């Protein structure tokens, strides 16, 4: 084979490879799940106004110190350290719905949607099932469902997200009338 023929064959092969790459159907870009926005939505769902009943439990001082450590660590961007502090608090009081919810939010922030859903569900089951904390549980579940595409569609099932949000809205309870 002459040098010219070899060059022509190599050139033709490269052109074929480039053409094959150029004619392929591009995969649609899947938007990344914004964990910070999801956690902001969860926390906003739990905001309290003066027209709602909100009961706050008494806290163990050691647990409260760990909760405050977690808040400070998260504020500095040390989310895993904050999660570790809440894990230590949960070792002391494993059935505290507020702690479970706070840990669920950090799991969501860390991108662990499975753990976030598990913790929020457990917190709902153990908690009062009404009020701001209840809304945070269900918004966490809605955010997890938004982040987790259904296998058949490749997108979140709108009905399951809507169902979680309906449950979230049902958590709002007016305070008893005052005379």
Long-range pairs of 143-148 with CB within 8 A, sequence gap ≥ 24: 143/38, 143/39, 143/41, 143/42, 143/108, 143/116, 144/108, 144/113, 144/116, 144/117, 144/120, 146/33, 146/38, 147/33, 147/38, 147/113, 148/113
**pLDDT at residue number 82:** 98
* Total-model pTM: 0.75
Go through the domains of the chain in sequence order and give each one's CATH number. Answer: 33-169 (1.25.40.10)
Per-residue pLDDT of the chain (179 residues; tens, 9 = 90+): 555 555 554 455 545 544 545 555 555 444 578 999 999 999 999 888 766 766 666 788 999 999 999 999 999 999 999 999 999 999 999 999 999 999 999 999 999 999 999 999 999 999 988 889 999 999 999 999 998 876 665 556 778 999 999 999 999 877 777 77
């Amino acid at each position: 084979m002459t040098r010219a023929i070899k060059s022509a064959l190599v050139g033709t092969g490269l052109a074929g490879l480039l053409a094959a790459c150029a004619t392929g159907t591009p995969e649609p870009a899947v938007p990344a799940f914004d964990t910070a926005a999801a956690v902001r939505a969860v926390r906003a769902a739990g905001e309290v106004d003066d027209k709602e009943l909100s009961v706050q439990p008494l806290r163990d001082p050691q647990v409260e110190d760990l909760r405050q450590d977690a808040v400070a660590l998260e504020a500095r961007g040390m989310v895993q350290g904050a999660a570790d502090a809440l894990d230590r608090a949960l070792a002391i009081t494993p059935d505290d719905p507020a702690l479970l919810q706070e840990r669920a939010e950090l799991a969501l922030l860390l991108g662990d949607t499975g753990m976030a859903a598990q913790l929020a569900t457990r917190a709902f089951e153990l908690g009062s099932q009404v009020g701001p904390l209840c809304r945070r549980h269900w918004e966490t579940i809605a955010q997890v469902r938004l982040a987790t595409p259904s296998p058949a569609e490749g997108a979140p099932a709108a009905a399951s997200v809507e169902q979680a949000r309906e449950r979230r809205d049902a958590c709002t309870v007016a305070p008893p009338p005052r005379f």
